A and B are shown apart, each in its own frame.
Chain A
Amino acid sequence: MKGSMNIDAALFAKLGSYPHIVLSWVDDDGYPTQTAATFRGDEACGVVVVDPTGLAVPTDRVVNATASHIRPQPGTGYDERRYVSLSGTVSRDGDAIVLTPTRAWGWDEADVPFFEYSERSNAQAQQYMLALSEEQGREVKPRLSAAWTFILATRLPFLTATFVPVLLGILVAAYHGSFNWWLALLTIVGGAAIHIGLNVANDVFDSLSGADDANVNPTQFSGGSRVIQYGLVSLSQMQAISIAAYAVGISVGLILLVVAWSPALLAIGIAGLLLSVFYTAPPLKLVHRGLGEITTALGFGPIMVLGAYVVQTGALAWEPFVASLPVAILIALILYVNEIPDAMSDAAVGKRTLVVRWSRSTVTTMFLMSALAAFAALVGGVVTGVLPAPTLLALLALPLVFEIYRGIRAYYTSPYKLMATMGKNVQLHAVFGLLLVVGYVVAIAADRLWDSAPGVLT
């Protein structure tokens, strides 16, 4: 563990795994000096007994004793980094040197992975860059290209969560005979803008609540974008981005309302906007109350699918609602699985997500049941005749469910090992959604073929 260590049996056990130790002290000329030595820990007396050294180790000053290890990996570098440092005074016992440690610290990447070690040091980095800014008379901060900063800050790759339901709504409408390119494009732009506004607002509120700062195990799928924590974008800049994105989204929504007026569209738009804003914003803070999954399911499921459908057709229908159900479940499961590594930091700031509330086995079982329910909803929709048969193509994504389930079971408490599983989970939603969309394209194409077939066939 990085940081202070108790001077106890565990420390001596760790020390015992090193073949030698390096003693360091300050010479009379003011320069530090060092020598390696063999040693043994005397746990009973709480001291380290060092074999005689050719360099005289002084007994009138503080001496540091450090044992370190690294395993070379030819062609790449090294791994297995670890070290233990002790600080104390030394005395003589015959020829031997006896170090009585008063402090101990160290790091072992097997206990604290390097990424977590780095996250724990984030405050130190910010403090150093602030001091350097004063020293150099100019702002010193980490640099990233504007494009990458934008992609990170907005979490752009997650827009698949918007594209899938909006495309689905548009295609169901097309299947029903209504399709307008410009309205489709505007719907995608509006949905993406609201999604970006939500992502950025989520970072703003999680930074204000301290949830993102408390999270020392962020991954590319969880723990927020980190651009505020890393000093890449300021809190006020993030607020501005969020407001601008919402402004674009609302403006597009108003244009759609004017062009394709319907009371249903107005209701859907308002519901979507409110769910998006109050996902993390006070006073509702829905995600803090264990309502994050249901909010996400509604927003990126029925609301987006029905919204996109109503824009094209001007009316509500059952089919887009039924088609949205599996997509809703799978998008909620992205949030749900991503909350696993965040559970400790979320709990620390009172963010009572489902993963925080439930036991490990409940969380794991509920994933499997919910994912299977999504596939069952699709089959049910087809069997009852609400959805066209080609949408069953989405069943091809089923094996991913079991891969993800196994990953969650195996790596529940290892955030970095869980990353691949979280990635697969994002894939599950995207692959299922795109196959559903392809299913509709096939259904539309089949309909067209049927309509244009020679009379003998009809």
Chain B
Amino acid sequence: MGMMPNTVEKLLESALVAELVVLKANGEPVVHPLIPLWDGERVYMTSSVLFSKKLERIKRNPRVSFSITDPVAVGGLMARCTIQGDARIIEDDIHTSWERVLQLWRAKEPGIDFFLGKRVALPLFFERSMIEITPRRVLWWEDGDTSKPPQVRELQEVAA
């Protein structure tokens, strides 16, 4: 087991979008672009109940992965990564539970406070579930050149 590589941490801290992959009931992968929020241990993403299919799919199969690949969305960093992990949905109170990661969200999207101020006009958008991803394995390309094999680090034992 190892620590998250520095390069990947920088990507996680700066990325405005990650391509989250969840699995459909028939096992096919589906991609959902979402903002990744990194607290130094786990990755969080939030999803409105409006766009909840991904949540249903994660509940059925918690094995997920996400990649950070767009240099434009990471402030010009050239590295790329893919992180595999186990996801858990936190939605004990969809009205407030997700506010635990509001600080991390605000750091990437300061404009969220404007929309929060208009919460009354977007009542369903702010009824949200939190996706908590425990990273298991990280694959990364220091120079972003994905035509080469990635470096791989196991972070935790892969669930059976």
Contact = CB atoms under 8 A, between A and B. Distances in A.
24 contacts: A20-B70, A29-B158, A31-B63, A32-B64, A33-B84, A34-B21, A34-B69, A35-B67, A54-B148, A63-B29, A66-B31, A76-B114, A77-B108, A77-B109, A78-B17, A83-B31, A87-B30, A125-B48, A125-B52, A128-B49, A132-B94, A136-B92, A142-B123, A231-B124
B125 to A, nearest CB: 6
A364 B51 CA distance: 37
B158 A142 contact: no
A53 B146 contact: yes
Given A26-B23, A34-B67, A68-B70, A55 B139 contact: yes
Contacts of A51: 147
- Looking at chain B, what size class is its interface with the partner chain? 35 or more
A59 interface: no
A32 B63 contact: yes
Contacts of A35: 67, 82, 146, 150
B131 interface: no
Given A121-B50, A128-B56, A24 B150 contact: no
Contacts of A131: 56
B158 to A, nearest CB: 6
Interface in B90-105: 91-92, 94-95
Nearest to A87: B28
Interface of A: 20, 22, 24-27, 29-37, 51-55, 62-64, 66, 68-73, 75-78, 81, 83, 85, 87, 118, 121-122, 124-125, 128-129, 131-132, 136, 140, 142-144, 148, 152, 220, 230-232
Contacts of B5: none
Interface in B60-75: 63-67, 69-70, 72-73, 75
Given A54-B149, A64-B29, A69 B70 contact: yes
A29 B22 CA distance: 15
Interface string B4-48: 000000000000110101110001111101000000000000001
A233 B80 CA distance: 46
Nearest to A140: B94
Given A55-B149, A68-B70, A125-B48, A144 B124 contact: no
Contacts of B64: 31-32
Interface in B106-131: 108-112, 114, 120-125, 127
